[in-house]
Amino acid sequence: MLKESVLQTAANAFGLNSNLLTHVGGNVNVVYQYPAQNGYPERILRLSNQKWRSEQEALAEVHFMKYLFDNSVSVPKIFSSKTRKLVESVTDGYHASVFSKAPGRIPTEEDWNPKMFVNWGRIVGQMYLLTQSYVPLHDVKRRDWKQEPWMDMMRHLPDEESIARQKANELLNWLETLPKDLKNYGLVHCDLHANNIFVTKDGSITAFDFDDSCNHWFAYDIALILYSVITRYNRQDIKSRTLDDHVAWFLDWFIKGYQEVLTVEYWWLKAMPKLMSYRRLLDFNFLHQRYDWKTVDGKLKMTWLRMKAEIETDEPLTNFPF
C-alpha cells in the first residue's frame, strides 16, 4: 500500500487536494482519479516507482504523448506541476505525472463494432505517421525493445522450458531480418489492447497508458492488437461467428481506418502469424516472471498449460489467410 506521505507529496506538487483522490487501480503503477474542479477536467494522478521506470523514462513517455496530443491525436492531455514539470520526483523513490481522464469507458460488447474499429485503426495510423518525425528530448529517450528487461525471454524463460526457449530464439533471429526504416520501425505504444482505450457512445476512442512504449516494428504493434482481439474472442462463452470470420471482420474495418492515414506495408500482414506467436511467447515469458509455476493452480494453471502446449506445437492463433 502506498504511504500517505508519498500521495500527499505528489498531490501538493500538482496543486491537488489529496482528500479528493480516489484509488482506481494500476498494475505496475499506482493510479488515482481526481474530480473536475475549478475549470479543470477530471484528472488522473499516476505514481511510478524508480524500480520500474526511471524519472527520465517517464519524462520520455509523457513528452511523446504531449507531442501526439499537440498534433491532434486523441490521447490524454498532460498537466504540468506547480514548478512546470511534466514529471515530479516525490518521496520513497516515486515520481508522479498528471493526465486528463480519457472520455468514455473501457469498450463493452455494445461498443465492439465497425465504428470503433475504424477509429482504432485511424489513431494507430496517426501515431505511426507522427512517430516518423518525432524528435525526443536530448538524452531522454524510450528504450529499444531489446533493452526492455521484461521482454528478455532468453533471460527469464527457465532452462527446463527448452522448447519455448528454442522457439523464442528462432523468432528473435527472425525479427532481426525485418526492415528497420522510418516507415516500418519507431516509437510505438506497444500495448494498445482494448483495456488501454476508452470509447464514447459515438465510437470515438482515446488511447492511454503509454507506459510500455518503446521502439519496435509498427507491424508488431498491430500484431499485439490483433492478438488481444483473438484472446478476447476465445474468452467469450457465446460466439456469433467463427474466429477466422471475427478476425476478418475486425481487420477489414481496422485497416480501413488505418489507410485513411497511411498505407499498410504488404509484408506486415504476411508477418502477422509469426509476430502473434512472438507476442504469445512474451506473455508466457511474463507468466514466468510474475508467478511461481510450482505454486499456481486453478484457472491460471490451466491457462499456463494451454499456452505452453500451443507454443510447443506451434499452434496458430488463427487460420485466417493473411
Q: pLDDT (tens digit, 9 = 90+) per residue, 227-263?
A: 999 999 999 887 889 999 999 999 999 999 999 999 9
The CA R_g of the chain, rounded to the nearest whole Å, is 20
Other beta carbons within 10 angstroms of residue 31's beta carbon come to 17
Average pLDDT, the chain: 95
Buried b (16+ CB within 10 A) or exposed e, 146-172: eebeebbbeebbeeebeebbebbeebe
Is the pLDDT at 41 greater than 90? The verdict is yes
pLDDT at 238: 79
pLDDT at 237: 84
Amino acid at 224: L
Report domain 109-312's class.
alpha beta
Dihedral, CA of residue 107, residue 113, residue 119 and residue 122, to nearest 10: 120
Give this prediction's pTM.
0.95
Percent of the chain with pLDDT over 90: 90
Helix (H, G, I), strand (E, B) or coil at 277: helix
pLDDT at 321: 95
pLDDT at 161: 96
Per DSSP (E only), the strands in the chain are 22-25, 30-34, 43-49, 78-79, 88-89, 94-100, 185-188, 197-199, 205-207, 214-217
> Cα 181 from chain centroid?
22
Is the pLDDT at 293 greater than 90? The verdict is no
Q: pLDDT tens-digit profile of 70-96?
A: 999 999 999 999 999 999 999 899 999
318 grid coordinates: 488463427
Query: Which of these ranges, 132-141, 167-176, 244-253, 290-299, has the smallest mean pLDDT?
Result: 290-299
Is the pLDDT at 222 greater than 90? The verdict is yes
Crossing angle of the two packed helices 218-235 and 243-258, in degrees rounded to 10: 140
Is the pLDDT at 159 greater than 80? The verdict is yes
Q: In angstroms, rounded to a whole number, what is the distance separating the alpha carbons of residues 212 and 268?
A: 21
Nearest to 12 by CA among 82, 80, 71: 82
Phi, psi of 207, deg, nearest 5: -95, 135
pLDDT at 162: 97
Which letter does DSSP use for residue 241 in this model? S
Task: Indicate the CATH number for domain 4-100.
Answer: 3.30.200.20
Q: In angstroms, rounded to a whole number, what is the distance separating the alpha carbons of residues 269 and 288?
A: 29
Nearest to 222 by CA among 259, 275, 176, 181: 275
pLDDT at 1: 66
Percent of the chain with pLDDT over 70: 100
- Report yes or no: 284 and 209 within 8 Å, Cβ to Cβ: no
Q: What are the distances in angstroms from CA 179 to CA 32, 226, 321? A: 40, 21, 23
Q: In angstroms, rounded to a whole number, what is the distance separating the alpha carbons of residues 140 and 111?
A: 37
Domain ranges in the chain are: 4-100, 109-312
Residues 6+ apart with CB under 8 A from 77: 69, 99, 100
- Report yes or no: 278 and 171 within 8 Å, Cβ to Cβ: yes
Nearest to 80 by CA among 68, 102, 62, 101: 62
Dihedral, CA of residue 89, residue 93, residue 98 and residue 102, to nearest 10: 160
Q: pLDDT tens-digit profile of 92-145?
A: 999 999 999 999 999 999 999 999 999 999 999 999 999 999 999 988 999 999
Nearest to 97 by CA among 107, 105, 106, 89: 89
**Average pLDDT of span 298-304:** 91
Is the pLDDT at 12 greater than 80? The verdict is yes
Q: Do domains 4-100 and 109-312 have the same CATH topology?
A: no
